Structure 1
Amino acid sequence: MMTKADLVDVIADSADLSKTKAEEAINLLLDSIKASVAKGNAVQLIGFGSFSLGSRAARMGRNPKTGEAIKIAASKTIKFSAGKTFKDIVNRR
């Protein structure tokens, strides 16, 4: 598993940046994606994938401990769809 710290190291080394600058760049990227999707805008990174906002309808569920029926409120969710290039790399095409 690659952690954020590992990603910072890779970017710092590859781009000849300090770890601080690499972490700032990653944080800016992630914050920008989060802010855009939270506003309802999709973010498309060609060759990587798309982030978008989805929704879950309210539904009935069960408390696993008691078996009691409970109402689960509607909520927003985040969708990620991998791009073709990313899928091809994963599938080694």
Structure 2
Amino acid sequence: MKMKKKKKKKKKKKKRRRRRRRRRRRRRRRRRRRREKEKKKKKEKKKETEEKEREGEEEEEGEEKKKKKESEEKEREGEEEGEEGDGEGEEGEEEGD
């Protein structure tokens, strides 16, 4: 009587490690990209707000200077011409600008 040969079992390749590594890498990449994008957005927002603030300050300073000039001119004209000169002084300022 002949004995049958036993079949050898094939070892399963360990794909789990590969999968895990790939998943981890993907997750890390995604996280990094998200963080970088968020940082960029924050920086852009900061720049925009700073620019707006600067523009606002410059406008305020310009307005203050104009007001000072107008008040000084009114005072000068008021001293020279009296109370009637105030009304005429405003027209003169518009022509000067």
Which structure has the greater CA radius of gyration? 2
TM-score (norm 1): 0.30
Larger proportion of helix:
2
TM-score (norm 2): 0.29
Larger proportion of strand:
1
Higher relative contact order (CA 8 A, sep 6+): 1
